[in-house]
Chains A and B, each alone.
Chain A
Amino acid sequence: METTLAQHIVTDLPQVTALGIIIKAIIILAVISAIAGFGTYIERKVLAFMQRRLGPMHVGPFGLLQIAADGIKLFTKEDIIPQNANKFIFMIAPIITAATAFIALSSVPVFPDFTIPEFIPLLGGVFVPSIASDLNIGILFVLGMMAAGLYGPLLAGMSQANKWGIIGAARTAVQFLSYEVVTGLSILAPIMLVGSLSFVDFNNYQQEGVLSWMIWQQPVAFVLFLIAGFAETNRTPFDLLEHEAEVVSGYATEYSGMRWGMFFIGEYANMITISIIASIVFLGGYDSASMFGWLTIMLKIAFFFFLMLWVRAAWPHVRPDQLMWLCWKVLMPLALVNILITAIVMMV
């Protein structure tokens, strides 16, 4: 009985072709890059409004074309490689950050499934899946890729023969060691509840209305994951890597032009990834039955993105020693206790 049902579902599903995956990858690259660019505009505007300023106003209506101006500037700026830098590593370090950020997005559901209409030549009828590669270990892969992305700042800081860069790289290592434990442990409790590492299973686990969302069962894990997510994306309370007031620009001190831009795109892509993970794992994800499921998850992602900007406007950032203190002495024990309690509740 079950096998026939499964066969029925499999045959009913549209064929996922290599062409569909390629289209999906291009869509993710283009849209997320555009959103990352637009995110800089949103960030400037939100921060400005929160500080009673206007933000960019002159390029285009309400400064909307500021992104284009920034893009032109980044692409046409001279690409300087310092004399004593390790040139090869200096050149590939930004690519690591940007590439891992987008590789992480490959196993995250971004936008709903759709089939390209038949009237479009060549590509008509190609099914484009919501996830570029639907791994059964989605969360593990995404977190692993984002962790690997930290090699970007680390190598960049060490290769550029600049003392601020070295400090930035050291802080990268410190921050990485501290928060990665908390990220893993905090998301372990929801994984235990769901019993799967796939984002689709997480989504299906929380489909019985708002009260079935994971945040009500795992509030501690949610807060811990959010804090660790801020550290992972290098956002304000934990932006030790390139805090201008302290280390000039940290690992990005010697970078200019599009290489610096790649760090930036990587950071914003990571922000979007963390927002998507938080939305799917803790806030119910997309409602696959409803027509507007994709809209609800967009709103959730937008909320988390806004939260990152909001926190940046409101809170001061911490010292490296405070970050280590917080992660090792407060958050990690809390995460362990949370896992223990979850396990006991599940056994009983």
Chain B
Amino acid sequence: MSLEQFKNRNVGIHTYKTLDVGTPPNTGMEKFTQVVTRAVKGELFVGLWVVMREMINTLVKGDVHTVKYPFEKMPISPRYRAIHDMLRLLESGNYRCIGCGLCEKICISNCISMDTRYDEEQRKEVSEYTINFGRCIFCGYCAEVCPELAIVHGPRYENASEQRAGYSLFEDMLTPIDKLNLQQEYDGFGAVSPNADENITQTPLAY
């Protein structure tokens, strides 16, 4: 599934196909003609052939549309907004969050709460970070506003759980340090667009 399909917002009626359905019969003779035409033209047998063709495709080619859900899953769109992930820097392994507080500020359901402090090197670090998923509406603003691509939406969409708290802590959302090499870059809201290189122009300094 390519990203262009999701980026293309030019949805018009240019792909619509108009079918000629004709006019319904009015008089008895027209109705009779319609019945005879339909009976003789073999439209019913076309219908029979269509389902037989699909049965042969299913049995011979294995062209089945069933997804046995708990055992196999459909690929989700990179823009899908599921439970949040907190990403790490690939080189150092530190978490990317700089504690700017933009996500807390923009959150329209007020479900992100964070606290920051200065560490011993006078750098800002996150001391508390929770998302109340009972309130979160998964709007994606936090991921979009994040300047560091630190808070993103992950692929975890199965939210049934015995405890809400299991999702909401910073440590739970953070990529485990031993799985850093498996960390996926996020393609959704706030991510760098595929044609980002073309959009970069020289900074106009010559005022």
What is the interface of chain A, defined by CB distance below 8 A to chain B?
Answer: 46, 49-54, 57, 310-311, 313-315, 330
Contact = CB atoms under 8 A, between A and B. Distances in A.
Contacts of A50: 51-52, 54-55, 58
A52 B47 contact: no
Contacts of A53: 64-66
Contact of B57 (A52, A54, A57): A52
A54 B64 contact: yes
B59 A315 contact: no
A330 B35 contact: yes
B65 A315 contact: no
Nearest to A237: B44
Given A314-B50, A315-B44, A315-B47, A52 B64 contact: yes
Contact of A52 (B35, B48, B58): B58
Contacts of B64: 52-54
B35 A49 contact: no
Given A49-B59, A52-B57, A313 B51 contact: yes
Contacts, number: 40
Nearest to B47: A314
Identify whether the interface residues of A are mostly helix, strand, loop, or mixed.
Answer: helix
A310 B56 CA distance: 13
Contact of B58 (A49, A314, A330): A49
Contacts of B47: 314-315
Contacts of A311: 48
B143 to A, nearest CB: 36
B14 interface: no
B51 A310 contact: yes
A49 B55 CA distance: 5
A214 B64 CA distance: 40
A314 B48 contact: yes
Contacts of A52: 54, 57-58, 63-66
Contacts of A310: 48, 51-52
21 contacts: A46-B55, A49-B55, A50-B51, A50-B58, A51-B54, A52-B58, A52-B63, A52-B64, A52-B65, A53-B65, A53-B66, A54-B64, A54-B68, A310-B48, A310-B52, A313-B51, A314-B50, A314-B51, A315-B44, A315-B47, A330-B35
Contacts of B68: 54, 57
Interface string B62-90: 01111010000000000000000000000
Contacts of A315: 44, 47-48
Contacts of A49: 54-55, 58-59
B91 to A, nearest CB: 47
Nearest to A322: B35
Which are the 4 A-B pairs with shortest beta-carbon distances? A50-B51, A314-B47, A54-B66, A49-B55
Contacts of A314: 44, 47-48, 50-51
Contacts of B44: 314-315
Nearest to B59: A49
Contacts of B59: 49
Interface in B91-142: none
Given A50-B54, A57-B68, A315-B44, 14 more contacts: A49-B54, A50-B51, A50-B58, A52-B54, A52-B58, A52-B64, A53-B64, A53-B66, A310-B51, A314-B44, A314-B50, A315-B47, A315-B48, A330-B35
A89 B127 CA distance: 75
A322 B65 CA distance: 34
A265 B168 CA distance: 54
A50 B50 CA distance: 9
A330 B58 CA distance: 37
Contacts of B35: 330
B52 to A, nearest CB: 7
B167 to A, nearest CB: 30
A330 B36 CA distance: 10
A54 to B, nearest CB: 4
A310 B47 CA distance: 10
A46 B50 CA distance: 14
B50 to A, nearest CB: 7
A31 to B, nearest CB: 27
Interface in B142-178: none
A46 B55 CA distance: 8
Nearest to B35: A330
Nearest to A329: B32
Contacts of B55: 46, 49-50
Nearest to B66: A54
Contacts of B58: 49-50, 52
B141 to A, nearest CB: 39
A78 B106 CA distance: 55
Nearest to A58: B68
B38 to A, nearest CB: 12
A50 B52 CA distance: 6
Contacts of A54: 64, 66, 68
A53 B66 CA distance: 5
